[in-house]
Amino acid sequence: MPASDDIVRARLFLMRATEPPTQSVGAYTAVHGPVEAADRIRAGCAPPAVLAEVAQPEPDLRGDLAALEAGHARLLTPEDDDWPSAAAHDLAASGTGAPLGLWVRGDPQLGVLTAGPVAVVGSLAASPYGEYVAAELGRGVADRDIAVVNGAGFGVEAHALRGALSTSGRGRCLVVLACGIDVNYPADHGPLLRAITDSGGVLVTEYPLGTKPRRTRGYARQRLVAALSEATVIVEAGRRSPALAVARTASRLGRRVYAVPGPITSAKSAGTNELLRTGMATAVTCADEVTATRGLR
């Protein structure tokens, strides 16, 4: 059942007024409901911890409402039937902060893509080895009718998505953006993102329309990639790779974490090899090992 107009307006306000992740505002909204929470925040009578997370107390919602009216994107809220409630619950319970809402572009049945997807992430500056393995994993996962999830970054992520798009399987792509749904980022990936939505995939973001990417937003986005996935595969990552944040969050949320072993002489595989050494990740070399070990089909 779709959310009422009052709830949609309240959710739009909360998403515009805050910068994710918002643990206090999220918890307050869960208790009081979005309409009452928004009214109290506007009036300045919410608890100090809640008001401390409010960056824009009087945001302009006209552009958001116009975009919804024109059908340029959809706003998915916790009040909708196809809200990814398990992922949101796990984020809230872990203290990481569940999204207040999600802008969606593509197939509106987001629930189809949250039924056991696999995150395939890794180095932005991937080696030919990393690019090849990512494409093979993406293709193999999609061949088994399982969605591939990541942030559509350069390197491993883009190759995994292209691999998924190359198959005739029903596994599609779910991309979590660190910017507004209307922002073309990375700019070079415009054709890739269009191919994803044209093929039945979905783009989602917790950021309002027009929001530009930042490094901090990229890191915040990683928790959603981990939460929306049943399993995470790190293909190739150095010791400081942002992909390791996905692995850590996935582990904290109780998701399975896998890593592809790499050459011990390659700095690009130092992070993945460390995940294997410490036992945070299980070694995999192909999609069969990911899906069989996890029980995903």
Question: How many residues can be counted in the chain?
Answer: 297
In angstroms, how far is CA 34 from the centroid of its own chain?
22
Task: Give per-residue pLDDT as tens, 118-135.
Answer: 999 999 999 999 999 999
Per-residue pLDDT tens over the stretch 258-284? 999 999 999 999 999 999 999 999 999
For helices 34-43 and 23-32, the axis angle rounded to 10 degrees is 120
CA distances from 174 to 25, 43, 58, 142, 184 (A): 26, 37, 32, 11, 16
pLDDT of res. 291: 87
CATH number corresponding to 110-294: 3.40.50.450
Structure tokens at 152: 């559509």
**Alpha-carbon distances, residue 200 vs 181, 203, 209, 291 (angstroms):** 16, 10, 22, 22
> Rounded to a whole number, what is the largest CA-CA distance in the chain?
59
Of the candidates 218, 223, 266, the one whose C-alpha atom is nearest the C-alpha of residue 246 is 223
Domain spans in the chain, listed from the N-terminal domain onward: 5-106, 110-294
Please give the full DSSP string across the chain, using - where no structure is assigned: -PPPHHHHHHHHHHHHHB-S--HHHHHHHHHH-HHHHHHHHHHT-S-HHHHTTBS-SS---HHHHHHHHHTS-EEE-TTSTTS-HHHHHHHHHTTS---S-EEEEE-S-HHHHTSS-EEEE--SS--HHHHHHHHHHHHHHHHTT--EEE---TTHHHHHHHHHHTSSSS--EEEE-SS-TTS--SGGGHHHHHHHHHTT-EEEESSPTTPPP-HHHHHHHHHHHHHT-SEEEE-S--TT-THHHHHHHHHHTT-EEEE----TT-GGGHHHHHHHHHTSSEE--SHHHHHHHHT--
Instruction: Determine the pLDDT at residue 297.
Output: 44
Q: For 202-257, what is each residue's pLDDT tens digit? A: 999 999 999 999 999 999 999 999 999 999 999 999 999 999 999 999 999 999 99
The pLDDT score that the predictor gives to residue 114 is: 65
Q: List, for residues 132-148, the tens digit of each pLDDT value.
A: 999 999 999 999 989 99
pLDDT at 1: 54
pLDDT at 107: 77
Q: What's the pLDDT score for residue 285?
A: 95
**121 is written with which tokens?**
């992430």
Could you read off the pLDDT of 68-123 as tens digits, one per residue?
999 888 999 999 988 999 999 999 999 999 999 999 998 766 666 666 799 999 99
In this predicted structure, what is the pLDDT of residue 3?
A: 73
Amino acid at 164: A
Using a 10 angstrom Cβ sphere, with 0-12 exposed, 13-18 middle and 19 or more buried, the burial of residue 100 is buried
Give the integer Cα–Cα distance in Å for 23 and 197.
30
Q: pLDDT tens digits for 10-51?
A: 999 999 999 999 999 999 999 999 999 999 999 999 999 999
